[in-house]
Structure 1
Amino acid sequence: MELKPTLSLSQKRLLAITPELRQAIGLLQMGASDLRRFIAEQCDKNPFLRAHVPVGSRYRARPAGDRTDPIDKLAYRPSLIDHVTAQIGTCDLTPAERPIAVAFMEALEPSGWLGVEVEEVMARTGASGAACEAVLGKLQELEPTGLFARNLSECLRLQLAERDALDPAMEMILGALSELVESGPARFAARLGLSGAEISERLARIRTLDPKPGAAFGSGRAEAIVPDILVERRAGKWVVSLNAGALPGIEVDTRLHRTLRETEAADTDIARFREAFGTARWIVKAIERRQETLLRIGTELVCHQAAFLDHGPAGLRPLLQKDIARLLKLSESTVSRVANATYIQTPAAVFPLKRFFCTGLPTDGGGALSPAQIQQRIVEIVRCENPDRPLSDGIIAERLNGEGIPIARRTVAKYRVSARIPGHSLRRKTAAPYL
């Protein structure tokens, strides 16, 4: 077979990633704090850009004699306790549980772990062990996952449970982590009755976790969470708006442009000024498009998840990013970038936008239930059970299947543990309603 070089023509449709498009994508991936820094940098470099604190912002302009840039005032960096306090409204605490939560918060170490035993909190607050455990379970649901863990094993267990990666083999490994360093992986696997491959796979998964979730906040101050989107209740309806104080206002200085056009300058200077002016206009328009996209996505999310705002996590409906992308005629990657970078402030707390998305378990009726809704149903079943004859996970699974919710016993066990409900044998020993 003889090979010969040839020439041919063909047409292909390709997306050219221009510098402008790359930067527009980058703006969607920025949170409010990163975008403020970007705006400040561009204003320093480009004479045609001007930033100002917008009208209606909750931030005050600097007083006379204060040399601090008002934009810098937006970058307040809270401590770990500040971060936890901002989320505490999501825990649905009763008045009796609030003092217990405060005691746990006071015992929180910079690593994010608890510095005291539950018994000490019981003695300090006079609360029962069951009440303290219930409050601790609620606090351990805060972000980042792993906060309020009592030890390394529990910290890793919380993160693995969130990823649905907590199987019996992983439980065995977590229960004997201290022996791993002493015996080595091979002997450790043999002692647990696991293969080397099983140990290696699970250890690789453990290495992706954060053993000290509170350390990201530093010893004192950490980056503030500045919400881009605000949600308020007005006249019985949820109203969505952009946070006017999240970003400084930015505009193009057209007066400077007119002045430079009327000034005699060299051709090279004129070309440089034209390029800078064009860049300034593009940056302003790109930020405006970003804000419009944020508002559209936030409005659609609140419309779909109004029950979540009304009733808490139990009201969260199954919703995927591709669903919002299809409704708004956006790219799924655009929705993903926005969800991962921005926050929304509700009357209860500040949430990452991705908190409004969740997968669902299909039901026989053609609908779907979120994990929080299924967990709430399990809690209701346990609450109504006969204390003398507690229901096993298998029986609960059968009951849910009878209600049109196809679920396995193992999945019921996972949700039950997440809800801090003991197994049926332990509930039988107490011989009293657990919930």
Structure 2
Amino acid sequence: MKQYLMVISALLAAGIFLHLVIVNTTGSFSSAAQVEMQSNIPAGDSTNRVAEAKGPLGNSNDISNSTLGFQEVFVVNLPERTDKRDAIAVQASLTNITFKLSPGVRGDTISEKAKPYGMEKLLPAEVGAWRAHLNVLQKVVENRISSALILEDDADWDVSLKAQMTEFARGTRWLMNHTGPSYSPYGDGWDILWIGHCSAHSHHSDTRRWVIRKDLTVPPPSKRDAMLQPYDLGYWEGAPDFDTQTRIIYKAGYGFCFAGWAVSLRGAEKILHKLSMLPYGLAVDLGVAEMCAHGTYNITCLAPFPAYVGISKPAGNSSRGSDIVDGSGKGRAGDLATRGNPGAKFREEPESERVVFSTRMNIPRLLIGDTEFESNYANVTGRVKSIDEITSFTGTGHGEWLPDPLPVQDPSGL
């Protein structure tokens, strides 16, 4: 019996020694154990899953990095649109933003078997846009990316985007009641940050607003071209406290357009299931809008109004500005440059929409290191402003509650 116990003790000692050698020389055992532990996290435990995906805690300084505080930035671009790739590469470089390209998709190349039931009525370009955005979400899920900003290749943003996003983060954290540490500088628990919409209702269930007054980067009301707006802008833009340079941050419902939007890992999982694995027949932005409006899978969508990310339009044939509509403006949303003038097919000068101090339009100034930038709306802001004047809104936001209940949105408006 004594000899038997001695053999057992020797085997145990050898096993412990071997374990220590493996762990200390390769680290592989520790990593494998961590992966095994992470795979058993319950699907509903969003806090743990965010922590597992991100790693270290984030703070507002992360927004100044080259990915705006997200783990990755992706740009969706059709491979043949090298002109758009040139433009956004220069634009991003001059504002210290790094991104990875995600190839756009031609709708007519997608197998009929790969389309969800109900997609038969969509235009080929809409099908392609749906798949291109879902391909990014697929990467997010496959690689367990904690958060990703997705930009379309015609996206434009203000020269003060990082300052804007820092103030946006103050608002999103307030809306989610985040006062302590979080893994994302925007707070934890969000699914969608819809920063590049062309229209976005506020959700009827939440009357809180993060309010930023006297913001020079807010486009004037006549230039917003938004079919859907928050129900309550009149509280700040109307008399007696008249201020049409007010931006609000809020819980979003229905909306349109995906010039720029951010998604968390959890949000990507929800959208992939709803828009690909179930019967589905809408353009990709409308599908996400329905999820936001109905709270599908308890999705949390937050947005600024007006948006932070707009679009640019190059000079030449107006068809160059969109890969979904043609030069006559035909398509689901139409080409904004031809709306109200269907015969217009040529643009003499490049343009930027929904952005005041446009990065795209100020590239010549950025190239020479200028710190003063030209406004798209000189009659409102003055022609040229310094970066200090442009970012004077920083740190001025505050939370407010609306006094009246909001109306329930009607999905038939889509």
* TM-score class, shorter: under 0.3
Instruction: Give the number of the structure whose residues are more often strand, by fraction.
Output: 2
Q: Max radius of gyration: which structure?
A: 1
TM-score with structure 2 length normalisation?
0.25
Instruction: Give the number of the structure whose residues are more often helix, by fraction.
Output: 1
TM-score with structure 1 length normalisation?
0.24
